[in-house]
Amino acid sequence: MTTLRLAHLYPDHMNVYGDRGNVIALRQRCLRRGIELEIIPVNPGDMIDWGSVDLAFFGGGQDSGQALITTDLIERQGPGLRAAIENDLVMLAICGGYQLLGHYFLTHTGERLPGLGVLDVHTIAGKQRMIGNIVIEVDVGQGPWRLVGFENHSGRTFHGAGVKPLGKVLAGYGDNGQDGWGGAIYRNTFGCYLHGALLPKNPQLTDHLIGLALRRRYGANAELAPLPAERELAAQRVMVQRLIGRV
């Protein structure tokens, strides 16, 4: 059986607004194709061989949760995780996880939480909380997709030249409510503010991540078998039409 390994970073500290559902979606769409997805929880104090990991997920959390795991992320996991990301580890990071992959997060109290620094972004807490449904238009080389999700963040994330935007905001706020971008991409790492959970609502992205991981592990010719997602895509279309008036 084809096997992939997924590292779930700090599942007890970084799991708000259904973010754990992203791991469930990856596992289920793998399982329906006969792919075994081994899930490895990564908690503070754990040691992990990042060279053996194919996928990683880093969910969102409150500022207090982020503060509890920041030191472990940078000092214990940092060297191996940075090297894996530079070696095209497939990673999805949502909200707080996205922020902590950047250079720093400046909180409401003025505390500067250092990030891992693998994404060329930084985050500053704002006075306005950005809450609501969001649609972003994404093109990762397979034609444009419209991804839907739910955002709830006061942090405003700004991009540097070392990342490219994940997508253009069609409805909602996006990374900072100013520049029209939602999320960022660096190599095979994807970060954004879309909760909800993101992947059950957007099977195109789920399959894209699985396909990247398969090719990285088994070679460029490894193919992801087609898998229907009519119900998920129908629900996605309804939300897109509701928010922007067209599909």
Options 13, 122, 153, 195, the catalytic residue: 195
Q: Which two tokens stand for residue 57?
A: 């997920």
Q: Which residue among the candidates 95, 122, 153, 159 is catalytic per the annotation?
A: 95
CB-facing half-sphere around the CA of 148: CA atoms within 13 A: 19
Report d(CA 45, CA 105) in Å as an integer.
Answer: 23
Furthest CA-CA distance within the chain: 50
192 has catalytic annotation: no
- Known active-site residue 30: no
Task: Provide the Cα torsion 203, 186, 168, 170; round to 10°.
Answer: 40
Give the number of C-alpha atoms closer than 13 A to the C-alpha of residue 177, restricted to the C-beta side. Answer: 16
CA 140 to chain centre: 15
Q: How far is CA 210 from CA 74, 92, 93, 169, in A?
A: 26, 11, 15, 24
Sign of CA dihedral 214, 218, 223, 225: negative
> Which SS3 state, helix, strand or coil, does residue 38 take?
strand
Which of 135, 61, 69 is CA-nearest to residue 93? Answer: 61
Instruction: Mark 23-44 as b/e (b = at least 16 C-beta within 10 Å).
Output: bebbbebbeeeebebebbebee
In the block, residue with structure tokens 């939602």: 182
5 assigned ligand-binding residue = no
Which residue positions form the known binding site? 129
The residues annotated with a catalytic role in the active site are 95, 195
Which residue positions form the known binding site for substrate? 129
